[in-house]
Amino acid sequence: MRRKLAAGNWKMNGTLAELSELGALQGAAGGNAEVLICPPVTLVASAAANAGAIAIGGQDCHSAASGAHTGDVSAPMLRDAGATYVILGHSERRADHGESDALVAYKTQAAWAAGLTAIVCVGETLDERESGKTLDVVGRQLAASLPDDVTGANTVIAYEPVWAIGTGKVPTTNQIADVHGFMRSALIQRFGTDLADTIRLLYGGSVKASNATEIFAVADVDGALVGGASLKATDFAPIVDALNN
């Protein structure tokens, strides 16, 4: 059985004062689902020291373990700070920093080498969705962003339709089911059924308490990667609760 995962991506939000939200979230984190918070890198060490039952992750890492890369953070640095996960290939990184599938694959290998679980993100833009290219885009990203040594322990995949992130727009459950079913089939074709069935598939894109139960009922949705609704425990806890039910 794949353990459900509720992952919160704080993006470029939060100071030390906001870490009080971790304490408020502890009650929800005691269930069967794993709870993960990915704060900005300035808070990773402090968050890990006060995480309790919550896992802590980074939002990105460099593909190199060290070197002359001003302003970047390596996977070993995140691991040393107490992180156990790292988000890679998020659409905001792909768009704002021009990250390619190949670079995401290199970063994924770096994360594995440091002992981190990579959350690899894929997803289509609105133009790609309306042009009927969703599965082509997701299939290409999935194939090129994942190195060959994938396991259910070192990798999680998050489907985040770009047009749904932070917009309040959410795909229909049938649309989510189509993409998640496609991803599971693609993983089975590449890695075989036994391995593919261990890899968790998350949905991300305007997930909130009011739609979480419906989304989590979709086949092959093993949890969520949540943005804005993860910043406050009062918003994120009901999502975790929906995943535990």
* CATH code assigned at 57: 3.20.20.70
> How many C-beta neighbours within 10 Å does residue 226 have?
27
Q: Which of 121, 101, 102, 120 is nearest to 112 (CA)?
A: 120
**Residue 223 counted as domain residue:** yes
Rounded CA-CA distance 86/78 in Å is 8
Q: Which of 21, 34, 62, 90 is catalytic?
A: 90
**Residue 7 counted as domain residue:** no
Domain membership of residue 228 as a residue range? 12-244
**Residue 5 counted as domain residue:** no
**Residue 59 counted as domain residue:** yes
DSSP conformational letter for 53: T
160 labelled catalytic: yes
Q: Which of 135, 119, 127, 144 is nearest to 177 (CA)?
A: 135
**Residue 2 counted as domain residue:** no
Q: Which two tokens stand for residue 167?
A: 């917009």
90 labelled catalytic: yes
Confidence at residue 196, expressed as pLDDT on a 0 to 100 scale = 98
**Residue 78 counted as domain residue:** yes
> Across the 245 residues of the chain, what is the mean pLDDT of every consecutive 10-residue run?
96 97 94 96 97 97 98 98 98 96 98 98 95 97 98 98 88 96 98 98 95 97 97 98 95
**Residue 4 counted as domain residue:** no
Q: Which of 243, 190, 196 is nearest to 221 (CA)?
A: 243
Check: CB of residue 104 under 8 Å from CB of residue 210.
no
**Residue 163 counted as domain residue:** yes
DSSP conformational letter for 74: B
Confidence at residue 113, expressed as pLDDT on a 0 to 100 scale = 98
Confidence at residue 32, expressed as pLDDT on a 0 to 100 scale = 93
> Domains in the chain: how many in total?
1
Rounded CA-CA distance 32/52 in Å is 15
